[in-house]
Amino acid sequence: MISRSRIALSPTLTVFLCVLFLVCAAGCSSSTPPPSPFDNLTFTVHDPQFARTVGQLLGPPLTPGNSVTTLVNGDEFFPAMLQAIASAQKTITIETYLYWSGDIGQQFADALAERARAGVKVHVLVDWFGTHCWMVNRGSNNENYFRQLRAAGAQVAAYHPFNLGDPATWAHLNLRTHRKILVIDGHLGFIGGAGIADEWSQNAQDPAHRRDTHYRVEGPVVAQMQSAFIEEWLESAGQVLTGDDYFPQLHPVGNQSAHIFKSSSTTGPLNMHMMMLLSIAAAGKNIRIESAYFIPDPLAEKALLDARRRGVHIEIIVPGPHTDAPILRHLSRNRWGSLLHAGIEIYEYQPTMLHSKLLIVDDMWVSVGSANFDNRSFRINTEANLNVLDSHFAAEQSALFEKDKAKSRRITLKEWNKRSPLERLRGGLMEPWRSEM
Helix (H) or strand (E) holding 234: helix 221-237
Maximum average pLDDT range among 170-179, 362-371, 420-429: 362-371
Q: Mean pLDDT of all residues in the chain?
A: 89
Residue 162 has pLDDT above 90, yes or no: no
Better-scored residue on pLDDT, 429 or 397:
397
pLDDT at 432: 53
Helix (H) or strand (E) holding 112: helix 103-117
Distance between CA atoms of residues 121 and 144, nearest Å: 20
3-state helix, strand, coil in the chain (%, to 5): 45, 25, 35
Residue 55 to residues 42, 91, 183, 278: CA-CA distances in angstroms? 17, 28, 22, 12
Q: How confident is the model at residue 294 (pLDDT cuts 50, 70, 90)?
A: very high
Amino acid at 182: L
pLDDT at 76: 98
Helix (H) or strand (E) holding 147: helix 143-152
Residue 245 to residues 88, 91, 157, 185, 226: CA-CA distances in angstroms? 11, 6, 20, 6, 11
Q: How confident is the model at residue 5 (pLDDT cuts 50, 70, 90)?
A: very low
8 A C-beta contact, residue 170 and residue 78: no
Q: Angle 109-113-115 (CA atoms, 0-180°, nearest 5)?
A: 125
Better-scored residue on pLDDT, 58 or 225:
225
pLDDT at 425: 72
pLDDT at 2: 31
pLDDT at 268: 62
pLDDT at 96: 97
* Interacting residues of 197 by C-beta distance below 8 A, sequence separation 6+: 98, 99, 100, 102, 104, 105, 140
253-289 pLDDT, tens digit per residue, is 999 999 999 987 666 667 899 999 999 999 999 999 9
Average pLDDT over residues 379-401: 97
Residue 345 has pLDDT above 70, yes or no: yes
Q: How confident is the model at residue 19 (pLDDT cuts 50, 70, 90)?
A: very low
pLDDT at 199: 96
Residue 366 has pLDDT above 80, yes or no: yes
Average pLDDT over residues 1-8: 34
What is the C-alpha R_g of the chain?
Answer: 23
Q: How confident is the model at residue 326 (pLDDT cuts 50, 70, 90)?
A: confident
* Interacting residues of 128 by C-beta distance below 8 A, sequence separation 6+: 158, 159, 160, 161, 162, 176
pLDDT at 334: 87
Average pLDDT over residues 3-9: 35
Which of 242, 243, 252 is closest to 221 using CA atoms? 252
pLDDT at 139: 62
Q: How confident is the model at residue 427 (pLDDT cuts 50, 70, 90)?
A: low
8 A C-beta contact, residue 347 and residue 405: yes
Q: How confident is the model at residue 26 (pLDDT cuts 50, 70, 90)?
A: very low
233-257 pLDDT, tens digit per residue, is 999 999 999 999 999 999 999 999 9
Residue 353 has pLDDT above 80, yes or no: yes
pLDDT at 30: 42
Per DSSP, the three-state class of 96 is strand
Average pLDDT over residues 354-368: 98
pLDDT at 78: 98
Residue 429 has pLDDT above 80, yes or no: no
Distance between CA atoms of residues 149 and 122, nearest Å: 9
pLDDT at 16: 42
68-114 pLDDT, tens digit per residue, is 999 999 999 999 999 999 999 999 999 999 999 999 999 999 999 99
CB atoms within 10 A of CB 2: 6
